[in-house]
């Protein structure tokens, strides 16, 4: 684990995304109309994501435990694609990229698990960091 | 959560994969030679994956807690691609697809986290189920 | 911890409840219309409850880890009262009363936490077992 | 999750309570004399409560992880009532009310679980915040 | 993780021990009289041990999650030595040695942590398996 | 739990050790050559130790949750002895001795678990604090 005892605290923000692709319009409709048998997919997945962000240091060996001071989750639905956007913020000595990506991956997995009974072809695509601010180097994804 | 009290126990297998793409040969070399500063990437990521598989029901709301009776992790390195292959088995009333996919995603995230200091362009691609056996319906990925 | 190695497996059901009392109709409206700033209270609290049921043996010292095979959550809103009803089932050697009560208490606490910013007088009342089936002795709450 | 990145750190205290009601004097005697078969009820429940307070952000979706810097547990036994009083303190950007209430609820549930074999009519009553200090608004329970 | 899908279920017992050595009689007296400032050492450590046994598969990478069906903790105090004896039982496909040893180590660490303010020379000695029954090979410690 | 709300933050370091003794040279060779069937013992045990350090407050009742800002693990192999050395650092109000000792004990237990199939006589010896710095009183082990 990297030594951060000497580092200064600053505000850090990370925005990550994951994309869930379903195979038919009925699946999107069921998500939007909250008629998926397992429950309200977007709300339940968001809740799972909030927990996942906070638990990142318990899951990734070298991640430092840190005070997650904000997590926000948005969804953008376009055609058969559900884009998950998650923002994490802290005021601490190290960044929250992996926290955001971990949250995004758990939201995607929860959607996959909840949609499985009604759509056998759901796929999870490119979990990635979109943007980060604070710390040594800002980062802006080339595709953004 | 789906009611499985009436279901019969049978042997279930799931094979999932995730792909981590790095941006240069030096990263692959550092992985293979175990010279990544944060540690032995493949071993540490595998260990994180073993824990993740077992903790799936604690992370995904509708997943049933179940006896994970086997988890195996393999890596295939080709060019700049590291393919993570994870097999999970149980003898229980419900399948282990999400467990395998959860393990794959955590292995990929651990690799991302460990490689970040030496390669800023690591990407995680398509976490997906490759195969499952047991239960109502076998599944074989179309790309397989 | 009570020794259950010699006990037989049978189907067990427990129904528990908790009641959350808010102080004004606006709070109930915000819950129903999903306009509480922290999110969709009933869905998020249900999700927290699903996790809590599964994690009971990690929270209560003498509870045995067991295969939670079904959890269902219902809400009944009457006036300023939100009644949380949670059913848990297993096929195992011991019952799931405490699991159901633990789930009910976490759902109530999540509602309290989410409603706090819009209603300072939310109260949690009587977390209790309503019914259980299976095992040595059925139980039916006197008030039921 | 509410954004607290801009907030100042200050000392926060919360006092919560829960009440466990047993159905006969023998139960109270067994608690006091440490003769309950499952073990020393007050000590074991207190220990479970210490853990629960620290794990609150892992259980309640919108709770921020925070440095729990003090937890104290007291019991007041009067007749057939065991009143659980729990004080939690932090020096952080947000309060510890839900942490204290979560601790109180887990202590009550542990008592319920441990007393169940000797008293079938144990009840958990009104988990509530008694007092909080620090932050925007102090709070003093009307019944206090 | 070793594949146990094909193995038969049988009753398994493991007895492990750890020894905590304190540096003066006053420490032993404080333990026995329950006057250690941090609380009742033996009861709190036992409670921590009950949790630890159940959580072993979450802590040790290759341990299978399994139904812990009995855990019992005993203490033997002789001179300045506190011997911790812990028995774990399951009816499952694999043994509970590591579970028992993990429980013993956490009980010893909890005692160390609680005694630290009153005795700076507490030591933890030889965590070891004393006996196991069930499975392929019984084991009996040579010193037993 | 000791009240630390009034304490000042300072840099704290703790170095703990545990010793694992195997019964034959073949075991040491298998560790060094990474040919133990369960996997790379030193890497997997280190990973388990990193998690354990971070999770200490979840395992030991009176331990405060704290920002683990550095953990480093070293092994010294001499004859049939594997000495585990673990350093933990934080900048916080309380020390990290128990965190380091907890990490050491989990590393030792993981080694025990992984070596069990090839060596039935592995033993874990004296988990202890070697050194600590920061806080009221430095400590240097008499044997060091």
pLDDT for A105 equals: 98
Tell me the pLDDT tens digit for each residue of C30-66.
Answer: 999 999 999 999 999 999 999 999 999 999 999 999 9
Least confident of A115-129, F9-23, F79-93, F123-137: F123-137
Q: Which of D39, D40, D47 sits opposite E48 (nearest CB)?
A: D47
Q: Which residues of B are catalytic?
A: 113
Least confident of A16-20, A51-55, D137-141, E117-121: D137-141
Nearest Cα to F107, choosing from F134, F78, F128, F86?
Answer: F86
Question: Which residues from A are below 8 Å from C55, CB to CB?
Answer: none
Q: Which of E59, E102, E112 sits opposite F101 (nearest CB)?
A: E112
pLDDT for B144 equals: 42
Tell me the pLDDT tens digit for each residue of D55-114.
Answer: 999 999 999 999 999 999 999 999 999 999 999 999 999 999 999 999 999 999 999 999
> How large is the average pLDDT for residues A52-61?
98
Nearest Cα to A62, choosing from D54, B116, B75?
Answer: B116
For all residues of chain B together, what is the average pLDDT? 94
Tell me the pLDDT tens digit for each residue of E25-69.
Answer: 999 999 999 999 999 999 999 999 999 999 999 999 999 999 999
CB contact under 8 A, D48 and E48: no
F44: pLDDT strictly greater than 90: yes
**Chains touching chain D, criterion 3+ CB pairs below 8 Å:** A, C, E, F
Give CA–CA dist A120/A24, Å, rounded: 10
pLDDT for E135 equals: 78
- How close, in Å, is residue E4 to chain B by CA atoms? 5
Chains B, C: CB pairs < 8 Å: 36
pLDDT for B143 equals: 45
Domain ranges in chain F? 10-134
pLDDT for B135 equals: 78
E140: pLDDT strictly greater than 90: no
DSSP string, chain B: ----TTPPPEEEEEEEEEEEE-SSHHHHHHHHTT--TT--HHHHHHHHHHHHHHTGGGTSTTPPP----EEEEEEEEETTEEEEEEEEEEEESS--HHHHHHHHHHHHHHHHHHHTTT-TT-EEEEEEEEEEESSS--EE-TT-
User: In CATH, which superfamily holds the domain spanning D24-135?
Assistant: Molybdopterin cofactor biosynthesis C (MoaC) domain (3.30.70.640)
Confidence class for position A140, pLDDT limits 50, 70, 90: low
| Paired tokens of F117 | 């199939």
B140: pLDDT strictly greater than 70: no
Residue among F42, F43, F52, F111 with most chain B CBs within 10 A, to mutate: F43
So what's the ipTM on this one? 0.95
A96: pLDDT strictly greater than 50: yes
pLDDT for E74 equals: 98
Question: For every residue of chain C, which 3-state class applies, written as one string?
Answer: CCCCCCCCCEEEEEEEEEEEECCCHHHHHHHHCCCCCCCCHHHHHHHHHHHHHHCHHHCCCCCCCCCCCEEEEEEEEECCEEEEEEEEEEEECCCCHHHHHHHHHHHHHHHHHHHCCCCCCCEEEEEEEEEEECCCCCEECCCC
For all residues of chain A together, what is the average pLDDT? 94
> How large is the average pLDDT for residues D23-39?
97
Question: Which residues from B are below 8 Å from A120, CB to CB?
Answer: 139
Minimum Cα–Cα distance from B71: chain F residue? F38
pLDDT for D137 equals: 66
- How close, in Å, is residue A41 to chain C by CA atoms? 10
CB contact under 8 A, D61 and C44: yes
Minimum Cα–Cα distance from B41: chain F residue? F43
| Paired tokens of B50 | 């073993």
Q: Which of A47, A50, A69 sits opposite D5 (nearest CB)?
A: A69
Question: Which residues from F are below 8 Å from E108, CB to CB?
Answer: 127
pLDDT for F143 equals: 45
**Residues above pLDDT 90, as percent of chain C:** 92
> How large is the average pLDDT for residues A43-56?
98
Nearest Cα to C17, choosing from C135, C131, C133, C137?
Answer: C131
Residue A113 bears catalytic tag: yes
Give the CATH class of B10-134. Answer: alpha beta
For chain F, the straight-line distance linking the first and the last C-alpha, in angstroms and rounded, comes to 31
Query: To 10 degrees, what angle do helices E41-54 and E25-32 make?
Result: 80
Interface of B with F (CB under 8 A): 39-40, 43-44, 46-48, 51
CB contact under 8 A, C43 and A43: yes
Tell me the pLDDT tens digit for each residue of C4-21.
Answer: 999 999 999 999 999 999
CB contact under 8 A, B62 and C50: yes
Give the CATH class of C10-135. Answer: alpha beta
> How large is the average pLDDT for residues E75-89?
98
CB contact under 8 A, A93 and F65: no
Confidence class for position E137, pLDDT limits 50, 70, 90: low
C144: pLDDT strictly greater than 50: no
E14: pLDDT strictly greater than 90: yes
Minimum Cα–Cα distance from A52: chain D residue? D58
pLDDT for D135 equals: 79
Q: Which of F39, F60, F139 sits opposite E109 (nearest CB)?
A: F60
Question: Which residues from E are below 8 Å from C62, CB to CB?
Answer: 50
Interface of F with B (CB under 8 A): 39-40, 43-44, 46-48, 51
Minimum Cα–Cα distance from E12: chain C residue? C5
> How large is the average pLDDT for residues B65-76?
98
pLDDT for C10 equals: 96
Give the CATH class of E13-135. Answer: alpha beta
Question: For every residue of D4-42, which 3-state class applies, written as one string?
Answer: CCCCCCEEEEEEEEEEEECCCHHHHHHHHCCCCCCCCHH
pLDDT for B126 equals: 85
Q: Which of C11, C70, C91 sits opposite B1 (nearest CB)?
A: C70
Give CA–CA dist E32/F55, Å, rounded: 29
CATH topology of domain A27-135: Alpha-Beta Plaits (3.30.70)
Interface of F with D (CB under 8 A): 1-5, 57-58, 61-62, 64-67, 92-93
**Residues above pLDDT 70, as percent of chain E:** 94
Interface of A with C (CB under 8 A): 39-40, 43-44, 46-48, 51
Of residues B100 and B144, more confidence is placed in B100
pLDDT for D140 equals: 66
Question: Which residues from B are below 8 Å from C65, CB to CB?
Answer: 65
For all residues of chain E together, what is the average pLDDT? 94
E40, E113, E119, E138: the catalytic one is E113
Q: Which helix (H) or strand (E) holds F131?
A: strand F123-133
Question: Which residues from F are below 8 Å from D89, CB to CB?
Answer: 3, 5
Tell me the pLDDT tens digit for each residue of F98-124.
Answer: 999 999 999 999 999 999 999 999 999
CB contact under 8 A, D90 and F61: no
For all residues of chain F together, what is the average pLDDT? 95
């Amino acid at each position: 684990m990297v030594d951060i005892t000497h580092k200064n605290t600053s505000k850090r923000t990370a925005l990550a995304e994951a994309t869930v692709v379903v195979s038919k319009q009925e699946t999107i409709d069921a998500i939007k109309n909250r008629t998926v048998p397992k429950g309200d997919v977007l709300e339940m997945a968001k809740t799972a994501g909030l927990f996942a962000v906070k638990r990142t240091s318990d899951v990734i060996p070298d991640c430092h435990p840190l005070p997650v001071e904000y997590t926000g989750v948005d969804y953008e639905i376009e055609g058969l694609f559900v884009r998950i956007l998650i923002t994490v913020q802290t005021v601490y000595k190290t960044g929250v990229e992996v926290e955001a990506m971990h949250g995004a991956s758990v939201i995607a997995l929860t959607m996959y698990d909840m949609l499985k009974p009604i759509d056998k072809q759901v796929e999870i695509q490119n979990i990635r960091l979109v943007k980060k601010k604070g710390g040594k180097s800002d980062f802006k994804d080339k595709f953004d």
